[in-house]
């Protein structure tokens, strides 16, 4: 199909997510307090900011050379809203039923290209609203910002939502205005050294270096395997208690400490003979590269001169965690995570991964760019992300929301984890290949137990 004069080319990152090897759909689910009013939802969509965004009102078309473009079209809301009245499965809670539905969507239900690449599923029997958006339209920051633009505070709809980054340090670091030259040189040397080391590691991972196989390893073709989905539930106050016990720690440090400890606990269950102490298990984390951290105002994201623009503006980091048997000090896993993340923050690894992807896409084409991304996923063990949500309880179309969760469709990883915070809680969706990890609820419990042990250790340390 030829592109029209008004067609907009798909960005290099968007083209990557349209490749069969990396075809990704982002899913955001809101569990609601009251029964869903279908007509009210449709009416809200027609007047929402979503219908004003170009990529939500455009078809993805290909020109005679096979290049992808966005072409403006009329949106028929009825085609985008899918209503399911019957229960997904009987005899389970609404949250578990929604998870079962999402697990099926992860591998079996692609988006249709004869309409804009988004849809909303309403699970009437379980009071669940599901927004599915193709990753080519934007990343998690863009799409969560859009979702929250359609919501209001439950206690006062006229007040704006409060969204505060969780990854900030527990104590501010005020640098003197006049820094010594030697300090600046040291920082430059650290930046250069860490960037060199981590970029070389990233390149090697893209080509041939891979994790040793464990009970949670995926690989080539695993993205097509059936899925199961479980939720690990955390209290933000518990994570903050752990954060305060370690100087300058962040919520992300605590999260990776939980992942390290939880995976070790689960591997002890699945591998009773034990694994080599210190075995590296490598994850991929998505890092927001916008000039402003956290969720953004949608109007700012759409502004052409904005440094925090709409789309896919993220890089990848390799984040190793290590298998350790239970030790005397649970806080050690957070300290190790903090040390690793501090070094990553002083490098250009995330920017390198983003720019090299654009370079390969532009000069070698989508096939080779997707091959590199596919290989680095196959050579690592898990994917993880963390998106900050509002601090207050919110409502969608006047219906209060009990929880907000997010995940994506399948990757070659056997385990992907996406944490979203909301109103004092943090829920981590754990999507697994069920033939490799048949009991994701046990894995979720391992993560929850890890935070409980960390909290106890932090409280004990504060008393000494």
Active-site residues, by number, are: 135
Contact (CB, 8 A) for 418 and 283 = no
**Distance of alpha carbon 29 from alpha carbon 122, whole angstroms:** 10
In a 10 Å sphere around its CB, with 0-12 CB exposed, 13-18 middle and 19+ buried, how is residue 44 labelled?
Answer: middle
**Distance of alpha carbon 261 from alpha carbon 447, whole angstroms:** 7
* E-strand stretches of 388-464: 394-396, 399-408, 415-422, 425-433
3-state secondary structure of 318: strand
Residue by residue, DSSP assigns 321-353 as: EE-----S-TTHHHHHHHHHHHHHHTS-HHHHH
Residue by residue, DSSP assigns 67-114 as: -EEEEE----HHHHEEEE-S-SSSSS-HHHHHHHHHHHHHHH-PPPTT
């Amino acid at each position: 199909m030829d592109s029209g004069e008004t067609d907009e080319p798909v960005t290099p990152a968007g083209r990557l997510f349209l490749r069969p090897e990396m075809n990704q759909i982002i899913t955001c689910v809101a569990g609601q307090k009251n029964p869903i009013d279908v007509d009210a939802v449709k009416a809200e969509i027609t007047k929402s900011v979503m219908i004003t965004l170009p990529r939500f009102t455009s078809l993805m078309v290909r020109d005679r050379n096979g290049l992808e473009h966005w072409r403006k079209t009329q949106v028929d809301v009825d085609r985008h809203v899918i209503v399911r009245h019957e229960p997904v499965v009987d005899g389970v809670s609404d949250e578990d039923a929604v998870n079962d539905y999402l697990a099926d969507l992860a591998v079996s239900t692609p988006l249709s290209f004869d309409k804009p690449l988004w849809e909303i599923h309403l699970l009437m029997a379980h009071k669940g609203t599901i927004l599915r958006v193709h990753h080519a339209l934007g990343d998690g920051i863009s799409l969560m910002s859009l979702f929250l633009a359609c919501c209001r505070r439950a206690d006062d709809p006229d007040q704006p939502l409060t969204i505060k980054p969780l990854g900030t340090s527990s104590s501010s670091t005020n640098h003197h205005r006049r820094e010594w030259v030697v300090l600046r040189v040291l920082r430059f040397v650290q930046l250069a050294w860490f960037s060199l080391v981590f970029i070389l590691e990233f390149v090697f991972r893209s080509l041939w270096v891979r994790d040793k196989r464990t009970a949670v390893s995926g690989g080539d073709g695993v993205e097509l395997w059936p899925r199961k989905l479980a939720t690990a539930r955390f209290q933000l106050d518990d994570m903050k208690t752990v954060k305060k016990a370690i100087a300058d720690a962040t919520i992300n440090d605590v999260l990776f400490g939980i992942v390290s400890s939880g995976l070790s606990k689960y591997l002890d269950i699945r591998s009773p003979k034990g694994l080599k102490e210190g075995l590296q298990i490598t994850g991929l984390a998505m890092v927001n590269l916008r000039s402003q951290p956290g969720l953004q105002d949608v109007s700012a994201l759409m502004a052409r001169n904005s440094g925090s623009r709409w789309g896919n503006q993220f890089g990848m980091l390799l984040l190793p965690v290590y298998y350790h048997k239970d030790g005397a000090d649970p806080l050690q896993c957070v300290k190790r995570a903090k040390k690793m993340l501090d070094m990553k923050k002083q490098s250009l690894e995330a920017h390198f991964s983003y720019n090299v992807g654009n370079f390969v896409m532009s000069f070698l084409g989508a096939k080779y760019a997707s091959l590199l991304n596919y290989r680095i996923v196959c050579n690592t063990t898990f994917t993880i992300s963390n998106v900050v949500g509002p601090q207050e309880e919110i409502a969608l179309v006047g219906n209060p929301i009990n929880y907000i969760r997010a995940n994506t469709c399948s990757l070659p990883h056997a385990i992907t984890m996406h944490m979203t915070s909301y109103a004092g809680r943090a829920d981590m969706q754990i999507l697994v290949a069920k033939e490799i990890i048949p009991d994701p609820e046990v894995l979720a419990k391992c993560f929850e137990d890890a935070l409980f042990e960390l909290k106890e250790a932090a409280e004990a340390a504060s008393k000494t």
